Chains A and B, each alone.
Chain A
Amino acid sequence: MSFPKVVLVTGVARHLGAQVAARLAADPRIGRVVGIDAATPAGEAARLLADVEVRRVDLSSPEIAWLLADTGAEAVAHMAIVTAVDHQSGGRGAMKDLNIIGTMQLLAACQQAPALRKIVVRSSTAAYGASFSDPAVFTEDTEPREVPRGGYARDVLDIEGYVRSFRRRRPDVVATVLRFAPFIGPRADTRLTRYFALPVVPTVLGRDPRLQFLHVEDAFEVLCRSIVERHPGTYNVAGPGVLTLNQAIRRAGRIAVPVVEPGLSAVAAYARRSGLVDFSLDQLDLFVHGRVVDISRLVAEYGFEPRPTAVAFDEFVRGKGRGPLSPDRIRGAERRVLQAIRKARS
């Protein structure tokens, strides 16, 4: 197996891209790592990228084609995919520009790059959508019944479509698409982690969706292995096992507040306006119907199994601190009730 001498990582100004670039740079099997982003990395990303050569390139400009030829990149890790609408910088329009146009430009440039051997694209299990008429467990071959409602999910579907046509045009390039479950970890800061940190956690009345999480460390591991090793195809990446939403909330020691389904969109809109949490429509669907994926293809091909969903979630809870209903308190209450009953009976 020949390891790529030059690796290009997009989206290094964000945590995921920066981590992957830093890890690849630390890998002795990889020669040179070039990180690109339209923004200058700041804060922790900048610290991580100390050993990485960073170029400021806007993916939606043709500059990227020149850079690919110039560096002679043999592998590309495409991490510059935005998962949530950022209302401060351009909203949904900007998100779509970066996700769709950025990917199209990058793939067009890749098609022209003779040295390229490998491309790894970040995707999401959101591509499956979530509805009551879906099978309980999605495999990589499951087609979504209908186009998902959320912007991010639709972007992901489009991106995967571009990768498919890229595969047809450059069959010599190993293309890996990784469908990640929602990330979680002791220090992760996503919409999902902010949701679980709310004082009272809104849920949907009469629904207890099955959820899966992926520990961010495992996501980095799978991404790096995809660059170093050779794994063509599409893979689901998620922690094995399932937590239901209520179970997760209880494990976090928080209090669930069920909201009736018809008023859900209104509550989400209120939460968005008041800046509490920002939910997209596909996340609402996730909290109604849940989503579980099959990871046997990943385990068979990579020989690596992410840590279970429950373990990843517990690490997250330990990192963020538990809510008011911690297990110790409940255990204490249990003991007090038991003693009271014993006293009453004797």
Chain B
Amino acid sequence: MTPYRDSGGSEPAKRGKATRSRTSAPAAASAETSAAASAETSARAAAQTPAPPVDASSAGSRTHTNPSAPATTPVSDKEPAPAKAPAPANGSVKTPKRAAGNGSVPGPAPEPAMGNGSASGPEPAVGNGSASGRARKPGRTTKRAKAPAPAEEPGAADGTTLAPEPAKAGADVWDQRVAGLLSAVRQRLTGDYEVDEFGFDRQLTESVFLPLLRPLYRRWFRVETIGAQHLPTHGPALVVANHSGTVGLDALMLSVAVHDEHLSHRHLRLLGADFVFRMPGLSELARKYGSTLACNPDAERLLRGGELIGVFPEGFKGIGKAFAERYKLQRFGRGGFVSAALRTGTPIIPVSIVGAEEIYPLIGNIRPVARLLGLPYFPVTPTFPWLGPLGLIPLPSKWLIEFGEPIPTADLMDSADDPMVVFNLADQVRETIQQTLYRLLERRPDAFS
């Protein structure tokens, strides 16, 4: 209940501000924003709540964007890698946590045979003794090796755990990498890997899917996350987010955020529409990535198994809405996600994603083609289908993902079948997400900054 009251107090004023700043104020230069953000971070860390009113009255829209820059990511938009190294000095909350995660998590290490003492799970083949490996041949880092690089920086800095690594790995890093890669390939070819009952292939996800998505997440959309500490380190939680962007890229980015930005590197199990599981190819990939059908039996089963699940109650109404309606939350389905949470007593974490609306601005829908292909809609964007395959490239908007405070449901477990309680809770979640969206939009005056 607290998060709702929190935001409720200051929201109406902010909403007005949000619309005004988006229309009237021209784009605040990104460099300026980030510089100001990092300068203010220390002040913000000390006094969090009293800040906004002061700023709002004293300065224009640009300064107003800064205070809501919380103490988590004072990272510059342009180059995440170098910015993360100085971050600890800034007194940021997030970076030390990442460092701890890197140094101490002894490996989500799903690859028993090839995890050669590496602390970074995702890249089994290349991740051995990465600190030394990169130091030696910075020019030769492959695409796969690049992804973990920024995350490794703080780990190496504080790394007591990584210290013995370089000496051992120093012998022949590349030989070990090649051997690790080959043994991984052998495991795949002989079927020597594990898949859970939903079809989730942890090895494939951590060594192929996530490394492929990471450049998109870090470089293309420059995703910033806020409040990732609200995710539980273990045990179930229901992550509820807004859905947008014509194709469901926001779901993928959210799962990368959950995995990478939280110290326990958990996998977000996404719940998808039955359309996803009807399509050949897509259904196979979705299952291997850990998704399953959005239905109550599956949701409750995952939650009882202590998993973190991600739902998008807007469904196709959300991702298929026109660009003109961006950041207006659609109806929240039938509230099935709330009853799943209530039945299992799982906390609900509202998540607001800003940025996905602009990647494929939907300006039209060719219904006959959609019906012919069996799609929910056939999108027309400024680039698609006019530019052919080029139109499939998402526009590089700037993304912000804010994890809200968990809403506990354990005390409401008895009212899972009470429609009034379910509707109210769904409404509360929806309101929280909508208000946070407005607040985040203020922080990001320009969609492509």
A-side interface residues toward B, CB under 8 Å? 132-137, 139, 142, 204-208, 210, 241-244, 246-251, 253, 261, 289-290, 292, 325, 327, 330-331, 334, 337-338, 341-342, 345
Shortest Cβ distance from A194 into chain B, in angstroms? 20
Alpha-carbon distance between A20 and B334 when the two chains are bound, in angstroms: 49
Select which of A207, A243, A248 is within 8 A of B283 by beta carbon.
Answer: A207
Total interface residues in chain B, CB < 8 Å: 37
Alpha-carbon distance between A338 and B177 when the two chains are bound, in angstroms: 11
Shortest Cβ distance from B301 into chain A, in angstroms? 6
Assess A250 versus B283: contact at CB under 8 Å? Given A132-B278, A244-B199, A337-B182: no
Shortest Cβ distance from A151 into chain B, in angstroms? 24
Knowing that A204-B280, A243-B195, A345-B174 are A-B contacts, what are 18 other residue pairs whose CB atoms are under 8 Å apart, sorted by A's residue number? A132-B277, A133-B278, A135-B297, A135-B298, A136-B199, A137-B197, A137-B298, A205-B281, A206-B279, A210-B197, A242-B197, A244-B195, A247-B193, A248-B191, A249-B191, A251-B190, A261-B280, A327-B192
A250 partner residues in chain B, CB cutoff 8 A: 188-191
Indicate whether B186 reaches chain A with its CB closer than 8 angstroms.
Answer: yes
Assess A327 versus B190: contact at CB under 8 Å? Given A137-B297, A204-B280, A210-B197: yes
A334-B297 in contact (CB<8A): no
Assess A136 versus B191: contact at CB under 8 Å? Given A334-B182, A334-B186: no
B-side interface residues toward A, CB under 8 Å? 174-175, 178-179, 182-183, 185-186, 188-193, 195-199, 201, 274, 277-284, 287-288, 292-293, 295, 297-298, 301
B274-A325 in contact (CB<8A): no
Looking across the interface, which residue of chain B has its beta carbon closest to that of A260? B280
A338 partner residues in chain B, CB cutoff 8 A: 178-179, 182
Looking across the interface, which residue of chain A has its beta carbon closest to that of B275? A132
7 interchain pairs, CB-CB under 8 A: A135-B293, A136-B197, A137-B301, A207-B284, A247-B195, A327-B190, A331-B186
Shortest Cβ distance from A206 into chain B, in angstroms? 3
B186-A330 in contact (CB<8A): yes
Assess A206 versus B280: contact at CB under 8 Å? Given A242-B197, A249-B191, A331-B186: yes
Shortest Cβ distance from B193 into chain A, in angstroms? 7
Alpha-carbon distance between A251 and B197 when the two chains are bound, in angstroms: 18
A253 partner residues in chain B, CB cutoff 8 A: 190
Question: Which of B188, B191, B293 counts the most A-chain CB atoms under 10 A from its CB?
Answer: B191
B287-A208 in contact (CB<8A): yes
Looking across the interface, which residue of chain B has its beta carbon closest to that of A335? B182
Looking across the interface, which residue of chain A has its beta carbon closest to that of B186? A334
A247 partner residues in chain B, CB cutoff 8 A: 191, 193, 195
A136-B178 in contact (CB<8A): no
Alpha-carbon distance between A297 and B316 when the two chains are bound, in angstroms: 37
B189-A242 in contact (CB<8A): no
Shortest Cβ distance from B125 into chain A, in angstroms? 13
B174 partner residues in chain A, CB cutoff 8 A: 345
B199 partner residues in chain A, CB cutoff 8 A: 136, 208, 210, 242, 244, 290
Shortest Cβ distance from A129 into chain B, in angstroms? 14
Shortest Cβ distance from B298 into chain A, in angstroms? 5
Select which of A134, A248, A290, A325 is within 8 A of B189 by beta carbon.
Answer: A325
Question: Which of B190, B282, B283, B301 counts the most A-chain CB atoms under 10 A from its CB?
Answer: B190
B195-A132 in contact (CB<8A): no
Alpha-carbon distance between A241 and B297 when the two chains are bound, in angstroms: 18
A136-B293 in contact (CB<8A): yes
Looking across the interface, which residue of chain A has its beta carbon closest to that of B175? A342
Looking across the interface, which residue of chain A has its beta carbon closest to that of B284? A208
Assess A137 versus B198: contact at CB under 8 Å? Given A142-B297, A204-B280, A334-B185: yes
Alpha-carbon distance between A139 and B277 when the two chains are bound, in angstroms: 20
A251-B297 in contact (CB<8A): no
A327 partner residues in chain B, CB cutoff 8 A: 190, 192
Select which of B175, B185, B292 is within 8 A of A136 by beta carbon.
Answer: B292
A330 partner residues in chain B, CB cutoff 8 A: 186, 189-190
Shortest Cβ distance from A314 into chain B, in angstroms? 10
Select which of A248, A249, A292, A341 is within 8 A of B178 by beta carbon.
Answer: A341
B193 partner residues in chain A, CB cutoff 8 A: 247
Alpha-carbon distance between A250 and B179 when the two chains are bound, in angstroms: 21
B293 partner residues in chain A, CB cutoff 8 A: 132-136
B277-A334 in contact (CB<8A): no
A132-B283 in contact (CB<8A): yes
Shortest Cβ distance from A297 into chain B, in angstroms? 14
Alpha-carbon distance between A160 and B279 when the two chains are bound, in angstroms: 32
Alpha-carbon distance between A134 and B51 when the two chains are bound, in angstroms: 50
Alpha-carbon distance between A204 and B178 when the two chains are bound, in angstroms: 32
Select which of B179, B196, B292, B295 is within 8 A of A242 by beta carbon.
Answer: B196
B195 partner residues in chain A, CB cutoff 8 A: 210, 242-244, 247
Shortest Cβ distance from B251 into chain A, in angstroms? 17
